[in-house]
Structure 1
Amino acid sequence: MAPKLSPKPIRFRFPDSDLEKLQRQLDDTLLPEEELVEDAGWKYGTDLSKLKQLVEDWKRGDAVDAFGKNTGPGGGVSAWWRKVEERINRYPHYIAEIEGVQVHYQVARSPETDAIPLIFSHGWPGSFFEADLLLDKLTRPDVSGRSFHVVVPSLIGYGLSGKPPKQGWSLEDTARLFDKLMTEVLGFQTYAAHGGDWGYTITRLLARYDACTAYHTNFLVPNIPTYALPVMGLAKMGYSSITDRLLPYIFDARDVNLLKRGLEYMSVGSGYYQIQATKPATVGYALYDSPVGILSYLLEKFREWSDRRAPAFQPAGQGEQSSGMTDENILISATIYYLTKSTHTSFLPYYESGYLFDKFAKDRTFTAPARKKPFGHSRFPWELAGSPKPWIGRLDVNLKSLKEHDYGGHFAALDNPNALSSDLREFFTAHF
């Protein structure tokens, strides 16, 4: 299929004036001298000492990761960020206009002629950068399976993609543009799809299109059966001790862990969802031009939803060395939100697309186009919530592969890129 739309090549690069402003704002940062309450730690939200450490690293351009390696030149924000841009631009970036909406995407191509076109959809508080540690792995030929042409777009309202053009723009609209990106812009006749968080939703939506022939996720929103609601309700009402005793009689240890993670998320971790799903502008405008505000807001999510053994959350020199959840990568994520001025619009899927969870759970007509297509799933222990194995069939998917891992969390592509890249290669080699 010949491409119908011509993209514009770009460099992912920001003006000196933007970086100079960021430096001034970081230099002028004023944070509390003492914690919210004594020994607050992470219990009340973002840990003040960790936030202060990251702000100091950020403004010095001296991001020292948890292994003691100096990852920045120490010349301030500008010198550090120019090094980051070199890393980000090692694979080309483009802007395409689809249905009048600007779509930013990165393409990492394999030299192999039979490489599989794979679209990677990120979520919140992620960005296209979430896939960074997968690109070198998946584009290189491997004796264990085929390689990939990896396409990583920024969701509409994120990064350099345009904001939603109207009220009511949902992830269904974004998925439609992404299908056109793969077929009409890039000219692929067929493609594979992967995603987590909101990228899970987009991936399931892409699977409804003919050109998407197989799909994979590292997140599954559980469709809770009626018989399980009393048990879930007991935990939500504070009777978690009863739930803790009951669940091991029903599920294996990995399923119990995912359910308990989900219950914890609902009780103490989902307040942001209610805010962003009801009044996204209020907090969005407050964070729009506040680099430390953005970092504080995102940092808590990166910590809560990632494996606690990650380098960013362990003493210097410790932590899982294969993990990309490092101080520097967290700062890169926050800087992308700040420089692209997309924090407020990144909240819109919560307001406009929450209905999709019910459609996937209850509308068999809606899920029918993907019903027979191969589906693969990778599970990580620090996922914020998940579906027990006996419930996966309720999601109307044709599950062909379920991989369990002992390390990793919600941001699997950063937290455990080795495992996720291996799973993707194995699954799509067998089923694309």
Structure 2
Amino acid sequence: MSIEPFEIPSIPPERLALLKERLTHAEYPNELEQDVEWTYGAPRWAVEPLVKAWLNDYNWETARAEMNRWHHYHATIQGLRVHFVHERSEKPDAIPLLLLNGWPSNFYEYHKVIEPLRDGDNGKQAFHVIVPSLPGFGFSEAPKLPGHGIKANGEIMHELMTTVLGYTEYMAHGTDWGAPIAKWCAKKHSTHCKAVHSSFPLGPAPTPTLHNLLTQPLRVAKLLASAAIGFDAVYGRGAAKLKSQSFVDVINDADAGYRCIQCTRPYTLGFGLTDSPVGLLAWILEKFHNWTYHTSGKENTEALPETITVDEFLTVVTIYWLSNSMASSTRIYYEFFNEKDLNNEFGPEKVKIPTALAYFPAELAKVPREWVEAGSNLQQYNEYDVGGHFPSLEVNELVVDDFQRFGKLLKTKKFM
């Protein structure tokens, strides 16, 4: 299997001219006269300055120069050309680390942590850092056939680490979709995937199934009790953040609206997000605003948190636009929603390899720690006071430290 060097490309002149024309002549939608903050979605006052920054101030070549400091490659895996960054550490005890992102992010989410993790900053644990673009995201080829969901992505990522790169053992980390993909590697390939780390809590509720009644009756009883006397009364205030009763439950969680359309009609949505760079920017901005940690009092008055710069946000957007991958990236929602055998494939058994969870307060969801413990071999659990859904962008130093502490634990206990 061949590995080909890859370089992040410049924007072709004709493509750049088209982008500037679209941004210059942007048409903005009608809005209410009353300020409704973010309740109707991304408002013009937040979108328009970013459109102007993209047009007048943003320089792709600056971002490109930073990204091209790293070693990029393409490899064909299961018929798809997959892009990945591979930064090998010079430290002899470095741990191979697979970093997986989700939507609406891309590999650039990790741009602040690649080098500190590779170099073992502060004299701590170092890692061989591998950051792929998921198929259909950024510079990886999009899936060509239906059914490319968690399982297919997990198999490709595992093959990347073992067959392509030759690592016999590795650690996997995931945010958003990267979390269940990393969990797939942990459950299905534990002879090679020796540890899993996540900032996106995945712990199934102990519902009264026969398996749960036999293996964790007390947890089942607590869940049933919470329905009668309240969740906080049983688990403690702040132990969980659960809005939806299902993945597409807009009745209880207005933020689930995007999931409904991407789970059911991603093709139709794709026309607007592909043809209009302003529409693309606004669709991504809503999530980067809603899912990040804002200083108290600024939640409704700033487009982005202080921890994410305009240039960083526009680099994420430009990668989607340049690679024409927004439409293909949304299809993972459809595949997941229709991946009927996923529960059977995962099965009721827990993740047996060492697991770490870092929880950040602006994350979309939180489950009680005991649910995580019931479903995994939880070795490290940390809750932080700042940060959100994109922690490697927002609070990169905390993330690096969390990885390094887990890596030291794995070495100390000889898990790796």
TM-score for both structures, normalised by structure 2: 0.86
Asked if 1:23 corresponds to 2:20, the answer is yes
Deviations 1:292-324 (A, max 9, x none): 1011111111111111239996878x965xx3x
Cross-structure match for 2:212: none
One-letter amino acid of the structure 2 residue matched with residue 217 of structure 1: S
Cross-structure match for 1:70: none
CA separation in 2, counterparts of 1:184 and 1:267?
42
Contact 1:171 1:202 in 2 (8 A): yes
Cross-structure match for 1:426: 405
Asked if 1:281 corresponds to 2:275, the answer is no
Cross-structure match for 1:45: 41
Q: Once the two structures are aligned, what percentage of the paired residues are identical? A: 33
Asked if 1:304 corresponds to 2:290, the answer is yes
Asked if 1:374 corresponds to 2:349, the answer is no
CA separation in 1, counterparts of 2:325 and 2:226?
36
CA separation in 1, counterparts of 2:293 and 2:107?
21
TM-score for both structures, normalised by structure 1: 0.83
Deviations 1:274-301 (A, max 9, x none): 1111111010122112111011111111
Cross-structure match for 1:148: 127
CA separation in 2, counterparts of 1:345 and 1:311?
36
1:193-342 superposed matches below 5 A: 193-207=172-186, 208-209=188-189, 210-226=191-207, 246-256=230-240, 258-259=241-242, 266-309=252-295, 320=306, 323=307, 325-342=308-325
Contact 1:259 1:388 in 2 (8 A): no
Name the SS for the 1:119 alignment partner: strand
CA separation in 2, counterparts of 1:102 and 1:202?
18
One-letter amino acid of the structure 1 residue matched with residue 315 of structure 2: I
- Unpaired runs of 5+ in structure 2? 208-219, 411-415
CA separation in 2, counterparts of 1:314 and 1:231?
36
Bigger shift: residues 151-160 or 164-173? 164-173
Cross-structure match for 1:100: 79
Q: Displacement of 1:143 after TM fit?
A: 4.9
Cα distance change on mapping 1:49 and 1:61 into 2, 3 Å: same
Q: Displacement of 1:198 after TM fit?
A: 0.2
Name the SS for the 1:307 alignment partner: coil
Cα distance change on mapping 1:262 and 1:366 into 2, 3 Å: closer
Asked if 1:415 corresponds to 2:394, the answer is yes
Contact 1:41 1:48 in 2 (8 A): no
Contact 1:310 1:319 in 2 (8 A): no
- Unpaired runs of 5+ in structure 1? 63-79, 235-242
One-letter amino acid of the structure 1 residue matched with residue 20 of structure 2: Q
CA separation in 2, counterparts of 1:311 and 1:116?
41
CA separation in 2, counterparts of 1:180 and 1:282?
33
Deviations 1:14-47 (A, max 9, x none): 3222222211111111214x63341122111002
Cross-structure match for 2:211: none
Deviations 1:380-423 (A, max 9, x none): 111111211122234x2111111110001111111211111111
Cross-structure match for 1:75: none
CA separation in 1, counterparts of 2:244 and 2:124?
33
One-letter amino acid of the structure 2 residue matched with residue 247 of structure 1: F
CA separation in 2, counterparts of 1:358 and 1:272?
24
One-letter amino acid of the structure 1 residue matched with residue 365 of structure 2: A
